[in-house]
Amino acid sequence: MLIMWQVPIQMRDGVVLRADVFLPTPEGAYPTIMSYGPYAKGQSFQEAYSAQWNQMLKDFPEIAEGSSNKYQCWEVTDPERWIPHGYAVVRVDSRGAGWSEGLQNLWSMEEIYDFYECIEWAAEQPWSNGNIGLLGISYYAANQWLVAALQPPHLKAIIPWEGTSDLYREFYYHGGIRCQFIDSWLPKQVPMQYGYGSRARKNPHTGESVAGPETFTEEELRRNRVDKVAEVKAHPLFDEYYQTLSVDWSQINIPLLSAANWGGQGLHLRGNIEGFMQSASEKKWLEVHGLEHWTHFYTPYGVNLQRQFFDRFLKGEDNGWDNKPKVLLQIRHVGNKFVAREEDAWPIPRTVWTKYYLNARSFLLNKELPENDSSVTYEALGDGVTFYTHPMEKETEITGPLAAKLFISSSTQDADIFLVLRLFNPSGEEVVFRGAMDAYTPVAQGWLRASHRKLDMERSLPYRPYHTHTEVEWLVPGEIYELDIEIWPTSIVVPEGYRLGLTVRGKDYEYSGALDEEMTQFHRYPSRGCGPFLHADPDDRPSHIYGGKVTVYTGRGRESHLLLPVIPEKP
């Protein structure tokens, strides 16, 4: 393998980005796999994310086979998995990160324009045959949607692996409630900003700092990056700021493989499903798996999918990929077990959409509408109230998008609704799952700020309400309002005798069971069910507005219910 370190790529404004290029040793022109992002391309996975690496190898030792693993880097592909198969691999540090100079403006269109230029630069190099594909996790996936919509001439296929496609609804504001993920995520990225210099980790192969040859003061570093938290807090509604960062789905017409994670509640799920559903491409596939968001990207299962897809669309091989069903699912079972199944479409065409009505008198979820009207009141910032199904009479699969309709009133002018779909065994103990970024995720979650209840009727679906988030409609205290709430998709096969529960609450879900300290460290963030996707910003949720009481109404005329996608066996 031939490696070229810190190859310069000059942008339209003169700023120079740097790329590491990995090539097969026979000279030639090869299809090229690219990533562009802020995590410092010279940083060793095994050093910077040792807990994740070690746990991943413990669970899947085969990841270490067939590669020296010397060039493993966080959330991008291992070049040793591709070079022997006749690919070039290019890793680019995004503007202001790693070895790339310039003002760092994360999650911006400036980065996307840079990405476009990098794609076209790579296509012109003598070692590239002009067919460029994009591959990477999370940040390295999310920017693929936006750059693909710009239609770089030489971009031929993308694999966004667990990457948001709607920064407002999936990243910054869940249901209109500010998510604090960037508050904890951004400080972790500062040591990878260009100019961190001698304070940063060293590239194990070159001995150089992974964050550039210069060492800036803390004040210089601050001046060289956009304060993203302040920027997001200044835009609590879906305004022009987010509109400029919205994907134009009509312009994505290249082949794509969109990979999502059932446990990606808060970031690594909805965007991939929306991308599959909305993109204009006729050659598109959806894959959904489980476990941590970095795991199956590196397992033989994931790598084989990626290679087969790129062999077809970057090399033009007739390898049978075109005959593969459009939806590839890992159906989730209790005990973090998964069973592979192929489907023809999403949602699954044979879905039996089933309403379970809330009963505020019995606290049950029933398929029959309650005969009597009733209500239940809870503290608006409290644990709320849970409604349960009867024990399942037989094994029942729930796979697909979910939604709820609630009739509520508030003692104040607004209310934040947190919905949590949960699973309980016959003894009443809650069953949780290893998620994308938390070891104890529930079955599914959804959020809505009541003042953001306005729907976009053209984009809303019965199983996926779509809110505009463009205006605030305050509540009149005591008046009853109808809320349609999106719950992010899920998959769970509920065993006989188990029950589902829907918790309606006023704050983030917290798993109450015993924690495994090793697993919580593995996930890098507090692991009580939501990981880093928390919603407790006092500026966004002042107690005098969100700290009152909320009442949920059930019965005829106030048909509060949960819509579940029940999947019968294939005929």
Task: Write the DSSP assignment of 212-271 as a string of letters.
Answer: -S----HHHHHHTB--HHHHHHT--SS-HHHHTTS--GGG--S-EEEEEETT-TTSSSHH
Taking residue 224's Cβ as centre, other Cβ atoms within 10 Å add up to 16
Q: Report the CATH number that the domain containing residue 45 is assigned in CATH.
A: 3.40.50.1820
DSSP 569: P
Q: How many domains does the chain have?
A: 2
Answer whether residue 181 is part of any domain.
yes
Cβ(117)–Cβ(12) below 8 Å? yes
3-class DSSP state of 168: helix
Answer whether residue 85 is part of any domain.
yes
Distance CA 311, CA 321 (A): 9
Distance CA 121, CA 119 (A): 5
Whether a cis peptide bond, with omega within 30° of 0, leads into 204 is: no
Cβ(554)–Cβ(359) below 8 Å? yes
Evaluate if pTM is beyond 0.85: yes
Q: Report the CATH number that the domain containing residue 370 is assigned in CATH.
A: 2.60.120.260
Q: Nearest 5°: phi and psi at 508?
A: -60, 145
Q: What is the pLDDT of residue 550?
A: 98
Sign of the alpha-carbon dihedral angle for 357, 361, 362, 368: negative
> Domain span at residue 202?
2-161+177-235
Both tokens assigned to 12 = 């339209």
Q: What is the pLDDT of residue 521?
A: 67
Residues 229 and 371 in one domain: no
Residues 371 and 518 in one domain: yes
Residues 143 and 13 in one domain: yes
Answer whether residue 7 is part of any domain.
yes
End position of a domain, from candidates 235, 250, 272: 235
Distance CA 364, CA 372 (A): 13
Cβ(38)–Cβ(98) below 8 Å? yes
Q: Which residues contact 546 (CB under 8 A, 6 or more apart)?
A: 380, 381, 412, 414, 415, 416, 506
Answer whether residue 92 is part of any domain.
yes
- Distances in whole angstroms, Cα of residue 407 to Cα of each of 19, 339, 420: 54, 37, 17
Distance CA 196, CA 111 (A): 20
Find where tokens 């699912």 sit. 329
- Distances in whole angstroms, Cα of residue 146 to Cα of each of 32, 77, 142, 178, 477: 19, 20, 7, 23, 41
Please report, in tens digits, the pLDDT of each residue of the chain (571 residues total).
Answer: 999 999 999 999 999 999 999 999 999 999 999 999 999 999 999 999 998 999 999 999 999 999 999 999 999 999 999 999 999 999 999 999 999 999 999 999 999 999 999 999 999 999 999 999 999 999 999 999 999 999 999 999 999 999 999 999 999 999 999 999 999 999 988 899 999 999 999 999 999 999 999 999 999 999 999 999 999 999 999 999 999 999 999 999 999 999 999 999 999 999 999 999 999 999 999 999 999 989 999 999 999 999 999 999 999 999 999 999 999 999 999 999 999 999 999 999 999 999 999 999 999 999 999 999 999 999 999 999 999 999 999 999 999 999 999 999 999 999 999 999 999 999 999 999 999 999 999 999 999 999 999 999 999 999 999 999 999 999 999 999 999 999 999 999 999 999 999 999 999 999 998 887 777 666 767 778 999 999 999 999 999 999 999 999 999 999 999 999 999 988 7
- CA 191 vs. chain centroid, Å, equals 23
Both tokens assigned to 201 = 């980790």
Distance CA 528, CA 517 (A): 11
DSSP 412: S
End position of a domain, from candidates 235, 251, 282: 235
Distance CA 299, CA 136 (A): 14
Q: Is 86 left (phi over 0), alpha (psi -120 to 50) or beta?
A: left
At what angle are helices 139-149 and 109-123 packed, to 10 degrees?
A: 80
Answer whether residue 294 is part of any domain.
no
Both tokens assigned to 64 = 């270490």
Answer whether residue 244 is part of any domain.
no
Answer whether residue 341 is part of any domain.
no
Distance CA 504, CA 456 (A): 24
Distance CA 375, CA 55 (A): 47
**Burial (CB count within 10 angstroms: exposed 0-12, middle 13-18, buried 19+), residue 250:** exposed
Taking residue 236's Cβ as centre, other Cβ atoms within 10 Å add up to 19
Distance CA 365, CA 369 (A): 9
Give the residue among 420, 559, 435 at the shortest CA–CA distance from 500.
420
Q: Nearest 5°: phi and psi at 155?
A: -80, 120
Q: Which residues contact 316 (CB under 8 A, 6 or more apart)?
A: none
Cβ(254)–Cβ(157) below 8 Å? yes
Distance CA 532, CA 435 (A): 12
Q: What is the pLDDT of residue 517?
A: 73
Answer whether residue 172 is part of any domain.
no
Residues 228 and 364 in one domain: no
N residues, the chain: 571
Q: Which residues contact 81 (CB under 8 A, 6 or more apart)?
A: 66, 67, 303, 307
Residues 515 and 371 in one domain: yes
Both tokens assigned to 561 = 């219910």
DSSP 162: S
Cβ(533)–Cβ(524) below 8 Å? no
Taking residue 66's Cβ as centre, other Cβ atoms within 10 Å add up to 13
Q: Nearest 5°: phi and psi at 122?
A: -60, -40
Find where tokens 């097969």 sit. 24
End position of a domain, from candidates 214, 235, 256: 235
